[in-house]
Amino acid sequence: MRVSRTLLLVVLAALLLGCEEDVAGPDPFQYPYSMWGVLNPLADTQFVRVFPIEPLLEPGRPEPLDARFTSLDLDTGEERLWRDSVFVDSTGQVGHVFYAPFRVAWDHRYRVTITRDDGAATWAEVHIPERALLILEEPDTTREVILPARIEGEARNLIQSEVEIYVSYVVGFSPPPIAVPIFAFYRHYIPFDTNLRRTADGWTFAINLTRSYYPVFGSVTEDSNFIVDEGIRLLTVTFRTVVADDAWMPPGGVFDPNVLIQPGTMSNVENGFGFIGGGYELSRSWTLPFEVVEQTDYLPNR
């Protein structure tokens, strides 16, 4: 099972499961709202999904909420008013996503608040992580092909780290006389959170490209059209991780949307339910010389 690419996907998965779970906790109707979102310093617009908590689960009305949504930079005192974007999904369920066109600042603290017209409010505080850099180093081919890398900067919490091995393989040939190979493509994902090592300056890790071939080959052979004699061509190797705020600590270290949507689970929302995180994705791909790839069981992409 592939690990979720970013923490935003986890949040969206929770949102898409609807608001029934949000109102399933003890005495939920004393709270005005639940809200879910991620404040991303790399994004030029911020989004937060909001669910009104009501006694009856109804499709809702396709009009803006009678509410005021704001963000306050607790380091500078700057306050912004967000707008409500209303949409209706394929089931007729009305959704509300509040948004504001601005970038949150690195290492700043924010409070997001939604206030109902009767004065009842739901809020959360978020600490945006500092900026970190992902640096790819030269491959080590002493014995096996090892791809070392490091993350520099104050990245205290890394989550959803993964390696993507993107390959192609031959599944047939075009009709004669040309007989051009027909390729299929496959992405293999390796969870990598437990392979990262903390250092005084950040994090280090290394990908064993040689050994990655065996699980890739095992998956590709599940395709009955795979022509084994044509081999597997390596297209790219990509590392991704999410630099998150310290509040992103799921139960058991597992980002399970079915668990996260339960009221009170990893929640930092006051007078309501949900979670507002702070984080951003780091991602880079290696461009490997043919002679490096040829030292593995992969074929270079020519």
**Cα–Cα distance measured from residue 64 to residue 84, given in angstroms and rounded to the nearest whole number:** 6
Whole-number pLDDT of residue 27: 52
**H helix intervals, the chain:** 7-16, 209-220, 257-260, 290-293
User: Please, which pLDDT band fits residue 38 given cuts at 50, 70 and 90?
Assistant: very high
Distances, alpha carbon 185 to alpha carbons 174, 207, 243, 246, in Å = 17, 21, 29, 37
**119/137 same-domain check:** no
Whole-number pLDDT of residue 12: 45
**122/139 same-domain check:** no
Give yes or no for residue 148 having a pLDDT over 90.
yes
Q: Does 298 reside within a domain? A: no
As a whole-number percent, the residues of the chain with pLDDT over 90 amount to 68
- Which tokens in the block code for residue 72? 């306050």
**Cα–Cα distance measured from residue 149 to residue 140, given in angstroms and rounded to the nearest whole number:** 11
What is the DSSP annotation of 73-114? Answer: ETTT--EEEEEEEEEE-TTS-EEEEEEE--PPPTT-EEEEEE
Mean pLDDT of 246-258: 70
**119/13 same-domain check:** yes
Mean pLDDT of 206-227: 97
Mean pLDDT of 239-265: 74
Q: 50-54, 120-124, 236-240: which has the minimum mean pLDDT?
A: 50-54
Kindly compute the dihedral angle of the four CA atoms of residues 248, 254, 258, 263, in this order, to the nearest 10 degrees.
Answer: -40
3-state secondary structure at position 59: coil
Q: What is the mean pLDDT of the chain?
A: 87
Exposure b/e, 206-215, CB count within 10 A at least 16 = b = ebbbbebbee
Give yes or no for residue 46 having a pLDDT over 90.
yes
**192/64 same-domain check:** no
Give yes or no for residue 163 having a pLDDT over 90.
yes
**Cα–Cα distance measured from residue 232 to residue 203, given in angstroms and rounded to the nearest whole number:** 31
Whole-number pLDDT of residue 24: 46
CB-neighbour burial class of residue 17 (10 A; exposed 0-12, middle 13-18, buried 19+):
middle
As a whole-number percent, the residues of the chain with pLDDT over 70 amount to 83
Tens digit of pLDDT for each residue in 54-71? Answer: 765 555 667 788 899 999
Whole-number pLDDT of residue 30: 79
**Cα–Cα distance measured from residue 80 to residue 48, given in angstroms and rounded to the nearest whole number:** 14
Q: How many residues does the chain have?
A: 302
Q: Does 300 reside within a domain? A: no
**154/237 same-domain check:** yes
- Would you give the distance in Å from CA 227 to the centre of its chain? 34
* C-alpha torsion sign, points 245, 251, 252, 257: negative
pTM: 0.83
**229/271 same-domain check:** no
Whole-number pLDDT of residue 233: 98
**287/163 same-domain check:** yes
Tens digit of pLDDT for each residue in 70-95? Answer: 999 999 999 999 999 988 777 777 88
- Which tokens in the block code for residue 66? 């009678």
Whole-number pLDDT of residue 176: 86
Q: Does 274 reside within a domain? A: yes
User: Please, which pLDDT band fits residue 31 given cuts at 50, 70 and 90?
Assistant: confident
Q: Which residue has the tokens 């890394």?
A: 158
Give yes or no for residue 252 having a pLDDT over 70.
no
**287/144 same-domain check:** yes
Count H helices and E strands in the chain, helices first. Answer: 4, 16
**272/289 same-domain check:** no
CB-neighbour burial class of residue 301 (10 A; exposed 0-12, middle 13-18, buried 19+):
middle
**20/61 same-domain check:** yes
Q: Does 2 reside within a domain? A: no
3-state secondary structure at position 87: strand
**Cα–Cα distance measured from residue 203 to residue 292, given in angstroms and rounded to the nearest whole number:** 25
3-state secondary structure at position 16: helix
Q: Does 299 reside within a domain? A: no
Instruction: CATH number of the domain at 164, please.
Output: 2.60.40
**Cα–Cα distance measured from residue 206 to residue 215, given in angstroms and rounded to the nearest whole number:** 17
- Which tokens in the block code for residue 244? 């998150």
Q: Does 78 reside within a domain? A: yes
Kindly compute the dihedral angle of the four CA atoms of residues 130, 262, 17, 60, in this order, to the nearest 10 degrees.
Answer: -100
Indicate the number of domains in the chain.
2
**H helix intervals, 75-177:** none
**147/163 same-domain check:** yes
Whole-number pLDDT of residue 92: 73
**190/120 same-domain check:** no
Using alpha carbons only, how large is the chain's radius of gyration in Å? 23
Whole-number pLDDT of residue 267: 82
Range of the domain at 268: 7-130+253-279
